[in-house]
Amino acid sequence: MYKEIKILRQHGIQYVKDLRRQPVSELFRGRPVISADITGKEIEIVSSLCPSGAIDDKSGAIDLGRCVFCRECEFCLREKIRFTNDYRIACSRREDLVISPGVDTPLRFDGNVVREEIRKIFRRSLKLRQVSAGGDNSCEMELNAAGNVNFDLGRHGVEFVASPRHADGIVITGPVSANMAEALRLTYEAVPDPKVIILAGTDAISGGMYAASPAIDRRFIEEHHVDLYVPGNPAHPLTFINGILDLLSIA
Amino acid sequence: MSELYRKISSNPFTISLDSIPVLDYAGFFDQTVLMMKDEAEHCAALYAVEMSGAPRLFCCLANDNDHCFRLYSTELPRERSTVPSLSKEIPQLHVFEREIHENYGVVFEGHPWLKPVRYPHYRADRTSVMDNYPFYSIEGEELHEVGVGPVHAGVIEPGHFRFICNGEKVLHLEIQLGYQHRAAEKLLSESRNGISRCVMCDNIVGDTAVGYALSYAQLIESLSGTLPATSLQIERCIALELERIAVHIGDTAALCADVAYQFGQVVCEALRTEIINTTQFWCGNRFGKGLVRPGGSNYMMNRKVVDKILQVLEDVGKRFAAISGRIYSLPSVLARFEDIGCVTRRQALDIGAVGMAARTCDVRRDIRWSHPFQYYGESSFEPLVFDTGDVLARGLLRAEEVRESTELIIELISAWNNLPAGNSGPDYNLSLSPDSFALSLVEGWRGEICHSAITDKSGNIIHYKIKDPSFHNWMALAIAVRQQEISDFPVCNKSFNLSYCGNDL
Ligand code: SF4
């Protein structure tokens, strides 16, 4: 017992007090800013080098739903593209993930498109079933971390549960491998109504680096309404948590 | 019989395709059986490539004692040939033969277990589907089967486990994988883009992003005859050891969680956070994605990073030593770990276990030591070995490796301090040597990661092959749970923490 008290003292206070404003290291790759004066030639260069096709070859906009946050565009064009450490990049609408040149404002979470019942029913308690469908295990580990001693998402009544029958929705990671497509569908069906769908990580939102793979099957995602998009590679626990808090309108 | 192989002593290596001996299948068979009777020898790679209409089999063995590779090949007469199975003589080859069978339809006669490995979209037999996996079954009134997965209770990757139990006791476990298949090897074989390929390698097995990116970078550098600067080699070793420390501490937390020792879990989780946040401080990603690149680095280590690493390691090292001392002296924890999930030395050798799974069964197998890469050969690194092969050994090895890796990083940093700072960025357009075979091994936290490639006459990669340590080690888990209580499965599983996506690729 004495030993444990000593360890506990070293352990100190670990939980993040303000999940909305916790600082992260400077280099963290969050919301990018593209200079308004990026030229057509420059757009051509970065859009052709981008490994996930996230940069529009005409407008130069970066789609965070496709971006795998490799930062190669910034290394190639430092004066024009810069990744900030703003991790609050989860959105309720797919199109809000697209960042145009000249824009340097936080991403907008549009609360109006969130179904009324989500807030009404889940605001105090949201239980989630996670389905990894071709995920590389980094997103899965970050989702686990969202509930750990540091981030403690449980303080808001949000938890991962073992069975879809106990869940209010699913969190999908991975590009949805064809071999998991059926299990994903069955898991979703087993969740009682009303239910939410959350996509965590770029792989889930667009397929990421696997978007062109012949071994994935994204029909489930195309056929269903998605309530929350959480970009990242992997999605950082703070990105996920802030997205959830926005979804439930918790200040 | 004269032995026909190329003996190679460097890791990574590149040699011309012409210089690899091509044996007839009988000669290939006999040579493999003869050489693999040496228990220090294990199979680093055995894969088939379609070359001019028929599969050619490349076999590369790695020897723990003489620190060399032995590489040779054979040509099968045609697709879907039938040849005698090596697995009957050398059980560890079972999964390699299964893979070749699945991809090319080659039938290995006498194979005890010629079952699907991952159901790739390019499999030879399209009638073989996830739903009709041929599970082993035993008839008996006393027996029942328990199926778990693909979706598990925790937030983890999918896979299916089928237990045959007698009451609470597990007689047999069969593991069906493939749910995670994303065709990573295929995409790497077809890509002509250097950036895409290495970003892809960051995103195959995310919990080993550094290990994978390093295997790739080494391979490409070897194929292009590029030698990384000494300072860069050291930085890569540091990144790899940080990855090892973070996962080992995280797994210690998970082991504690499985035996309901919440105090240990919470303390270890917080310590893992410190380490991965240090990696994030260095490169902006908690898993080190983007940190390792061929030819150079986008995140050269600097004084600020070094100071941060040293400061965090000192603090975490002390605290982890205290908590692990506590964990492994508590009778209630030890009762759940000791003599649970045992794998014997003989079994480990037979299944060709690698990495942690081998080193907890008294098998001295560690690529950092046997086939040193990057700066490891110049460091004082020596592998740690435990001999009880149980969950406790796998827990203790983690604790000891955290300590050892911490010391190693401190040693690496003092060597780095004396070197001129390197400052070159990555090179994505290295030209690769034509008509070559290349292979690179990296000892990640689970064990050896093998990347191998074959180039055509213009130096384009035409075949890319990856082997995760889990490819060998899933069998160790299946063996470990035999005759155990089924309620001990979670802790056995966690003690190995094998990769699903690394198997399914
Ligand atoms: S950081 Fe995103 S947009 Fe830039 S190159 Fe990488 S994937 Fe493309």
Tens digit of each residue's pLDDT (9 = 90 or more) over B90-113: 999 999 999 999 999 999 999 999
Angle at A204 between CA A31 and CA A125, to 5 degrees: 85
Residue A41 lies in a domain: no
Q: Could you report the per-residue pLDDT of A56-98, keeping only the tens digit for each?
A: 999 999 999 999 999 999 999 999 999 999 999 999 999 999 9
CB interface of A with B, residues 176-195, below 8 Å: 177-180, 182-183, 187
Among the partner residues A68, A144, A179, nearest to B155 by beta-carbon distance: A144
Contacts of B281 in chain A (CB under 8 A): 25, 27
pLDDT at B55 over 60: yes
Two tokens, residue B152 = 């598990």
Q: Could you report the per-residue pLDDT of B336-350, keeping only the tens digit for each?
A: 999 999 999 999 999
Contacts of B250 in chain A (CB under 8 A): 141
Contacts of B205 in chain A (CB under 8 A): 136-137
Residue A162 domain boundaries: 111-248
Q: How far apart are the first and last CA of chain B?
A: 38
User: Quick one: what percent of chain B has pLDDT higher than 70?
Assistant: 99
pTM attached to this predicted model: 0.96
- Cβ distance A144 to B121 less than 8 Å, yes or no, reads no
CB interface of B with A, residues 260-289, below 8 Å: 263, 266-267, 269-270, 273, 277, 280-287, 289
| Domain shared by B340 and B458, yes or no | yes
Among the partner residues B122, B182, B290, nearest to A134 by beta-carbon distance: B182
> What kind and span of H or E run contains B448?
strand B448-455
Q: Could you report the per-residue pLDDT of B287-335, keeping only the tens digit for each?
A: 999 999 999 999 999 999 999 999 999 999 999 999 999 999 999 999 9
Residue B94 domain boundaries: 6-117
> What kind and span of H or E run contains B263?
helix B262-283
Angle at B79 between CA B74 and CA B81, to 5 degrees: 70
Q: Are strands B69-75 and B143-148 parallel, antiparallel or unpaired?
A: unpaired
Mutate to test the interface with B, among A136, A158, A160, A205 (most CBs of B within 10 A): A136
Q: Which of B32, B90, B27 is nearest to B59 (CA)?
A: B32
**Phi, psi dihedrals of residue A158, rounded to the nearest 5°:** -105, 125
Taken as a whole, chain B contains a residue count of: 505
Single out the residue in B463, B480, B496 at which a domain terminates: B463
Where are the extended beta strands (E) located within A75-193?
81-83, 98-99, 126-132, 158-160, 169-173
A85's CB contacts (< 8 A; 6+ apart) are: A24, A25, A26, A27, A28, A29, A30, B284
Pocket test for ligand 1, best of A70, A82, A84, A210 (most atoms within 8 A of CB): A70
Confidence category of residue B3, pLDDT binned at 50, 70, 90:
low
Residue B295 lies in a domain: yes
Residue A233 lies in a domain: yes
Q: Could you report the per-residue pLDDT of A6-56, keeping only the tens digit for each?
A: 888 888 888 888 888 888 999 999 999 999 999 999 999 999 999 999 999
How many angstroms away from the CA of B67 is the closest CA of chain A?
A: 32
Q: What is the CATH number of the domain that holds B68?
A: 3.30.460.80
Residue B418 lies in a domain: yes
Contacts of B120 in chain A (CB under 8 A): 215
Q: Could you report the per-residue pLDDT of B182-230, keeping only the tens digit for each?
A: 999 999 999 999 999 999 999 999 999 999 999 999 999 999 999 999 9
- Cβ distance B195 to A49 less than 8 Å, yes or no, reads yes
Q: What is the CATH number of the domain that holds A220?
A: 3.40.50.12280
Q: Which amino acid residue places its CA nearest to atom 8 of ligand 1?
A: A50
Which SS3 state, helix, strand or coil, does residue B133 take? coil
Residue A39 lies in a domain: no
Residue A160 lies in a domain: yes
| Overall domain count for chain B | 2
Q: Are strands A62-63 and A98-99 parallel, antiparallel or unpaired?
A: antiparallel
| Domain shared by B105 and B240, yes or no | no
- Cβ distance A138 to B196 less than 8 Å, yes or no, reads no
Cβ–Cβ contact A128 with B under 8 A: no
Q: Which neighbouring-strand residues pair with A216?
A: A177
Cα A23 from Cα B179, distance rounded (Å): 37
Angle at A195 between CA A189 and CA A198, to 5 degrees: 95
Ligand 1 centroid to Cα of residue A75, in Å, is 10
Q: Which of B92, B88, B89, B111 is nearest to B101 (CA)?
A: B111
CB interface of A with B, residues 192-211, below 8 Å: 203, 208-210
> Cα B115 to the chain's mean position, in Å?
21
How many angstroms away from the CA of A95 is the closest CA of chain B?
A: 24
Residue A9 lies in a domain: no
Q: What is the pLDDT at residue A16?
A: 87
Cα B499 from Cα B502, distance rounded (Å): 5
Contacts of A152 in chain B (CB under 8 A): none
pLDDT at B421 over 80: no
Average pLDDT for chain A: 94
A233's CB contacts (< 8 A; 6+ apart) are: A67, A68, A69, A70, A138, A201, A202, A203, A208, B203, B285, B289
Two tokens, residue A101 = 């040149």
> What kind and span of H or E run contains B144?
strand B143-148
Q: Which amino acid residue places its CA nearest to atom 5 of ligand 1?
A: A50
Q: What is the pLDDT at residue A32?
A: 96
- Cβ distance A10 to B287 less than 8 Å, yes or no, reads no
Residue B431 lies in a domain: yes
Q: Which of B497, B448, B468 is nearest to B118 (CA)?
A: B468
- Cβ distance A203 to B203 less than 8 Å, yes or no, reads yes
How many angstroms away from the CA of B68 is the closest CA of chain A?
A: 32
Residue B436 lies in a domain: yes
**Mean pLDDT score, B357-365:** 96
Residue B502 lies in a domain: no
Two tokens, residue A54 = 């996230």
Q: What is the CATH number of the domain that holds B319?
A: 1.10.645.10
Q: A43 CB less than 6 Å from ligand 1? A: no
Average pLDDT for chain B: 94
Ligand 1 centroid to Cα of residue A67, in Å, is 5
Two tokens, residue B34 = 């003869």
Residue A178 lies in a domain: yes
Q: Which amino acid residue places its CA nearest to atom 7 of ligand 1?
A: A67
CB interface of B with A, residues 302-331, below 8 Å: 318-319, 322-323, 325-326
pLDDT at B58 over 80: yes
Residue B165 lies in a domain: no
Residue B196 lies in a domain: no
Ligand 1 centroid to Cα of residue A174, in Å, is 18
**Mean pLDDT score, B246-257:** 96
Residue type at B402 in one-letter notation: V
Cβ–Cβ contact A48 with B under 8 A: no
Single out the residue in B447, B463, B479 at which a domain terminates: B463
How many angstroms away from the CA of B197 is the closest CA of chain A?
A: 8
pLDDT at B2 over 60: no
Decide if the complex's ipTM is over 0.85: yes
Confidence category of residue B1, pLDDT binned at 50, 70, 90:
very low
Residue A40 lies in a domain: no
Residue A1 lies in a domain: no
Residue B159 lies in a domain: no
**Mean pLDDT score, A115-127:** 91
Query: Which of A120-124, B52-56, B90-94, B413-417 is least confident?
Result: B52-56
Among the partner residues B187, B203, B322, nearest to A7 by beta-carbon distance: B322
Q: Which amino acid residue places its CA nearest to atom 2 of ligand 1?
A: A67
